[in-house]
Structure 1
Amino acid sequence: MSTQKFTGIFAAVVTPFTAERELDLPGIQRQVDHIIGNGVHGLVPGGSTGEFTTLTLEERKQVNAAYVEAAAGRVPVVAGAGALSTTEAIELTAHAKKIGADAVMIVPPFYGAIPFDEMVDHFAAISEAVDLPIMYYNLPEATGIELTPDQFSELARRTNVSSYKDTGGDASKFAQILHHHGDDIQALNGFDTLTFDALALGAQGGMWGAASVIPELCAEFYNVMAVEKDLVRGRELWQKIHPICAFLESYNYAAVINLGLELVGVSAGPARLPIQSLSEEVRRDFAQLLIDAGVEVVGASELAAVSR
């Protein structure tokens, strides 16, 4: 059985598109160099931030492969491989192994919640078909599936699931799994506004959409909290970062991350329809939050003039 432990901040990355909303594969290198060059520890393509539900199967493979190639072994890549069918999830996982991904992130089938036993069978079939570590993508808002701490442990014991990205927002459950089920499954934070809480509790890392937009701040925050264990300095940094995270959770996530990338000079194009671009007012508000956090924003002087 494949196992994998992750440490650090992994960026939940976007899928770059052209103005016509076609894949912009060359744009992936720009994203990767921006993220890794500013200290982030890993990449997670093909998740919710990457708009995987709008991509064809072939496009998903192309995006995962392009991110692995662009990373070039500098940091681990966890490729999104969740699907509505077990067959498709196996195909994506097999492709992820072929291209050299370090693990896959798999959300359980999300069109109608399935019983726990059926879900274990789903992950067991993937595990039997492909020997690659699996990160369970805990996203109950979309899947309708709420696992108990004991079920997380059982899933890990019976399959290749060795970690889970928690986007459930239940800090108490996360703490219970982190402290009492860590021998079975690694708990990693995936809820932006709970990053401080998770690292203060002792989590070894997390998947963070904000890390694509403000990678240097996110990497510094992880180092202060998880490595240096300096809560005082961590609180000071969090006062800068938290307003940005709260802002991200106030809008369509893919759209606002794309906007943030444009503001910091590494544009990934628009999101795919039906997601539409955000208003000029939202742009100005986001730009101001970034400026307040000490982040360099493209066109900051023009935005300031408009605000006045």
Structure 2
Amino acid sequence: MTTPQFTGILAAAVTPLTADGSAVDAAGIKRQADHIISGGIHGLVPGGSTGEFTTLTLDERKQATELYVEAAAGRVPVIAGTGALGTAETVELSMHAEKAGASAVMIVPPFYDAPTFEELLTYFGTVSEAIDIPVMYYNIPSATGVQLTTDELAKLARETAVTSYKDTGGDFSWFTAVQEHHAGDITALNGWDTLTFAALASGAKAGVWGTASVIPQLCADLYDALAVRGDLIAGRELWSKIFPICQFLESHNYACGIKTGLELVGASAGPTRAPVLPLAPEYREELCTLLIAAGVETVDASVAA
């Protein structure tokens, strides 16, 4: 198995939909990939929570993966979200992602009925035997009900193809403990927007970040300042612009907030899929104001004026 070391900022990407929300928009995916990559972002992660994967059919998930790999065109790695409620479906999606050209897959534990750790070992072990690309464990306890200990996470990595994990748990002490005590077993990637500065400053090699889909250049600049150059002063200046946007997005339906932001910066990805409703006008205006304050050019003239 090839084991790439993901570094930098990987954008948690949306699934662009047609205007009526009924189908995946191929042109929209190309638009997203070009917008994100041209902003200096280091990878794409479609098919996760930001990608509304729970609302997509199996065929739509496969289609989105294929289109993102095609749109990336080898410029950056694509890590495809392939987690599902059942092992068979996860294996099917993961095998398809590998065949489509994904560099790795990101797998969330089965949700709704939280599995035991032994069940997780079997689940990830079965997927690992079916593919020859690495697995990124998607840690999001609020959605799955699964909260591993740091030792359990390290054991999962040692016994399966899991080589990294996206942490969307929000427990920075837990995240730091993995970094400090289990770096030899698994690579920690931050996935909690408002903890990005702290994670990069503490030595995280990468982050999976939805905000990077909206303001890729600012997010890439933050990574360069903190993780590459070690320039805390420059990093703090950038973070003062980025943090309010992250805080806003965490206080609303995340995928909806990201898609609204994309529309505001001229990289529209269509609506979210029902039952999620559009942001109320006052929240849309607030987000536009935050983007303008961060120096981001928007296409919402009513607020920009």
TM range (shorter): over 0.9
1:1-308 to structure 2, matched below 5 A, reads 1-21=1-21, 22-300=23-301, 302-305=302-305
Read off the aligned partner of 1:119 and give its amino acid letter.
L
Q: SS at 2:105's partner residue? A: strand
Separation in 1 of the partners of 2:80 and 2:225? Answer: 27
CA contact (8 A) 2:17 2:24 kept: yes
CA contact (8 A) 1:4 1:162 kept: no
Deviation (angstroms), 1:299: 2.7
Q: Percent identity?
A: 63
Q: SS at 1:4's partner residue? A: coil
Read off the aligned partner of 1:299 and give its amino acid letter.
D
Separation in 1 of the partners of 2:120 and 2:246? Answer: 31
Q: SS at 1:169's partner residue? A: coil
Deviation (angstroms), 1:25: 1.3
Deviation (angstroms), 1:2: 4.6
* Alpha-carbon RMSD: 0.8
Separation in 2 of the partners of 1:268 and 1:138? Answer: 26
Deviation (angstroms), 1:91: 0.4
Deviation per residue, 1:24-66 (Å, 9 max, x gap): 1121000100000010000000000000000000100000000
Separation in 1 of the partners of 2:129 and 2:24? Answer: 32
Q: SS at 2:54's partner residue? A: helix
- Which TM-score applies when normalising by structure 1? 0.97
Deviation per residue, 1:250-305 (Å, 9 max, x gap): 100011101000000010010000001011111110010000000001033x2245
Q: SS at 2:285's partner residue? A: helix
CA contact (8 A) 1:45 1:79 kept: yes
Deviation (angstroms), 1:3: 2.8
Deviation per residue, 1:226-250 (Å, 9 max, x gap): 0001111111110000000000001
Deviation (angstroms), 1:100: 0.7
Separation in 2 of the partners of 1:65 and 1:299? Answer: 32
CA contact (8 A) 1:240 1:292 kept: yes
- Which TM-score applies when normalising by structure 2? 0.98
Q: Which runs of 4+ in 1 moved over 4 A?
A: none
Deviation (angstroms), 1:23: 1.3
Separation in 2 of the partners of 1:122 and 1:71? Answer: 29
Separation in 2 of the partners of 1:69 and 1:242? Answer: 32
CA contact (8 A) 1:107 1:137 kept: yes
CA contact (8 A) 2:298 2:304 kept: no
CA contact (8 A) 1:29 1:67 kept: yes
Deviation (angstroms), 1:160: 0.1
Separation in 2 of the partners of 1:249 and 1:79? Answer: 23
Deviation (angstroms), 1:112: 1.2
Q: SS at 2:33's partner residue? A: helix
CA contact (8 A) 2:288 2:300 kept: no
Deviation per residue, 1:166-206 (Å, 9 max, x gap): 00000001011011101000000000000001001100010
Separation in 1 of the partners of 2:42 and 2:3? Answer: 18
CA contact (8 A) 1:4 1:163 kept: no
Separation in 2 of the partners of 1:80 and 1:53? Answer: 11
CA contact (8 A) 1:45 1:80 kept: yes
Stretches of structure 2 lacking an aligned partner (at least 5 in a row): none
Q: SS at 1:79's partner residue? A: strand
Separation in 2 of the partners of 1:222 and 1:2? Answer: 25
Read off the aligned partner of 1:44 and give its amino acid letter.
V
CA contact (8 A) 2:18 2:24 kept: yes
CA 1:253–1:87: 2 relative to 1, 3 Å = same
Deviation (angstroms), 1:4: 3.0
CA contact (8 A) 1:2 1:160 kept: no
Stretches of structure 1 lacking an aligned partner (at least 5 in a row): none
